[in-house]
Chain A
Amino acid sequence: MLYSIRLRISYDYDSPADVGRHLLRIMPASIPGVQEVQEARLLCRPVPAEQLERVDFFGNTCTEIAYRTPLEETVFEMEARVERLPSEPGLDVSPPPERLAQQIAEVPSVAGHAPQSYLPVSPRVRQNAEIAAWAAGVVEGAETVLAQVMAVTRALHRDMAFDATATMVDTPLDEAFALRRGVCQDFTHIQICALRSLGIPAGYVSGFLRTLPPEGQERLEGADAMHAWVRAWCGKDMGWVEVDPTNDMPAGTDHVVIARGRDYFDVAPVKGSMRLAGGQRTSQAVDMEAV
């Protein structure tokens, strides 16, 4: 499926702000077997004094920009054409849960996509006893690692309500779980936390979701902004599997990946240092259409 994607993130400041330096992760990546980027371009307004592109530890494209004068507004626009390859609904070749630890131990690597980095706590996902207890309950009877992952995805969708007003970008996952409400970021962090408590390596994927569904299907939640979902390592034969807890579905041809990491900390679309005297407003618009 070929998509045309547009993203616009803007910041408005009450008084000219010393916005300084930013790190952007909003460019989609070519991932063999998953997606191919045919073209992608980034437009920053005003034009930054410095702009530098590089690839980070996890293989994501990041753009460093710097401004030298105080600004009243900054706008980041990304446009891309991305071919999302059809994903095979693979057979479940994941091991029984009790054999996963051994398979993890047999990967002697700490590289970006080796499972080891995705089990310990990460900056935004600490341990949470309630989530662990909840997860232990919902996977009862699941006989494989993949079955456990799907059970958690299903249960999260059942127990959590999508609510764009309940949380903010920096709301801790504990709070979102206590409320049982939140947006894709909260769903994703809670599931990562749940899976890690079960010994399943789990990470965060940021990306886009097609805006308008194919005829006769429902519009998906999270399509009007950047989206997030979960990846879980299901053993040496199955590898990484991506699931979307907000919509209770495997991430497939409706999903286009921007960045992957342990949690939001590793993939945040805009990181920046700024000195603000007054307030700021930010808005985000996403459009992803099948071509």
Chain B
Amino acid sequence: MSATREPALAHYVAAEPFEPYAAEQLTPEQERFYRASQWRIMWWRFRRHRIAVVSAAILVLLYATTLVSEFLAPYNLHTRDSRHIYAPPQEVRLFDQGRLVGPFVYGYSMHLNMQTLTREYTPDPAKVQPLRFFCLGDEYRFWGLVEGRFHLLCPAEGGTLYLLGTDRLGRDLLSRIVYGTRISLTIGLLGIAVSFLIGITLGGISGYYGGWVDTLIQRLIEMVRSFPELPLWMALSAALPVNWSPLLIYFGITIILGLLDWPGLARAVRSKFLALREEDFATAAVLMGATPGRVIGRHLLPSFASHLIASVTLSVPGMILGETALSFLGLGLRPPVTSWGVLLNEAQNINVVALYPWLLLPVVPVFVVVLAFNFFGDGLRDAADPYK
């Protein structure tokens, strides 16, 4: 502070007003991000996973169809057409000999091949059968309750409309697949509900209390996991009483599927519990006198609910495939309950593949749904931890 020294620089004062927080000012996007709830951020992250979003849309659509299967299917589930057994798929056309007719199909002309003893169907250009939309067709009971005849799509009067062909009783495969969706898709959900219940309870107890309870449950999990699933499923479903109604069998199968699925979930729940119960907020809750039930339900569960949902989504396809396999072997669902597996049961030998390849078509929805669930689950899992 000596007066003798000249200042090196002239005194300078900036003209702008002084704002000490200018550097820390948030842009509107950042502000939106920091203020958003956890679920909202998860949604943003999920949205970035394109394939997962598409998969989610497909799944929503498929589940929506199960609500109105009767309306969407052109035929009733059980309608038999003895004149068209093992008929190949009919192709939808727009033009008949250069003339626009709108969507129509050619009728079949059938003759018996006496050498191979098979029916041979050929499209007959003389029979032009225009499709009808929003029309009256086969009778059905909507969800088994309300009678109706209204369909999205019907064959022409006196004509046929087998877009995916027919089976050995002359039943329309497309309609059967549409009805099968209802069973195949819900069986996964119900199975998951069972496994979810067991998994969360046992995993939660194991993780929260620790000690010998934990050891016991861990051993149990190891044992269940070390058992090959399918043989055990086979044994369990072979044990279902023969005199049960198809509906009871359906519930039996869902429970069997769920019974073997829980260990993975229980393990995930336990490891999350072990990590989270050491967190400050859990300790704080305990110190403030919260009961174990409240600590678990109000503080611990919500903080890893997203993980749970993701891992659950990833185990649905396993169940759908499991049901398909069991029904294929004839151990699962029984007709008249119709699932994709039951439909595939008809395609059991190599002759079918050679002669009536369209009977393999129910595998397409299985494939699509399993893939969609996998991608959807992947997307959810990536989004589950939005703060990473």
Determine if chain A interacts with chain B: no
